[in-house]
């Protein structure tokens, strides 16, 4: 059964999906920030089309492990997502994923303009892959 990974940001949501065996995460797409109802509708369509059995959402904790403003926003988003789907949702510590995604893209010599478009998708891949690796 596939797992969907989400990197919920201020401007975009990065989406990744696992393979059937839950070994690898692949980037899927990036949703540009719109209204909550649009996000939830599009995510519900993706969930139905891909037949995922679980969703992993990156939780941006502070370096000391506490929950800051970003974590509160993600938690509120997850509460709304739970109302829109019956698929179980797991929160996953995502400290450093966006920084790591940016570093990977810089090493690949991706232009700034292209990085901006894909960094959230790469961060979603890192979140999901970390979760999958821990589950093995």
**Each residue's pLDDT tens digit, 37-69:** 898 999 999 999 999 999 999 998 876 767 788
Write down the pLDDT at residue 22.
96
Give the CA angle between residues 4, 14, 122 to the nearest 5°: 95
Per-residue pLDDT at 106 exceeds 80: no
92-118 mean pLDDT: 70
Question: What CATH number matches the domain at 2-135, 3.40.50.620, 3.30.420.140, 3.50.50.60, 3.40.50.720?
Answer: 3.30.420.140
Per-residue pLDDT at 2 exceeds 70: yes
Residues with Cβ within 8 Å of residue 112, at least 6 apart in sequence: none
Question: What whole-number distance in Å separates Cα of residue 100 and Cα of residue 71?
Answer: 19
Write down the pLDDT at residue 48.
93
Q: Is 26 in a helix, a strand, or coil? A: strand
Residues with Cβ within 8 Å of residue 123, at least 6 apart in sequence: 7, 14, 58, 94, 97, 98, 100, 101
CB 19 within 8 A of CB 132: no
- Binning pLDDT at 50, 70 and 90, where does residue 111 land? low
């Amino acid at each position: 059964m596939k797992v969907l990974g989400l990197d919920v940001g201020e401007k975009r949501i990065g989406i990744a999906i696992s393979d059937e065996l839950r070994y690898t995460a692949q980037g899927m797409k990036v949703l540009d920030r719109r209204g909550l109802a649009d996000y939830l509708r599009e995510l519900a369509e993706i969930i139905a089309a891909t037949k995922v059995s679980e969703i992993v959402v990156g939780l941006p904790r502070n370096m000391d492990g506490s929950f800051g403003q970003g974590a509160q926003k993600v938690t509120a988003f997850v509460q709304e997502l739970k109302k829109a789907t019956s698929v179980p949702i797991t929160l996953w510590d995502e400290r450093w994923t966006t920084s790591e995604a940016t570093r990977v893209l810089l090493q690949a010599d991706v232009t700034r303009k292209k990085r901006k478009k894909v960094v959230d998708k790469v961060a979603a891949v890192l979140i999901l892959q970390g979760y999958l690796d821990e589950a093995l």
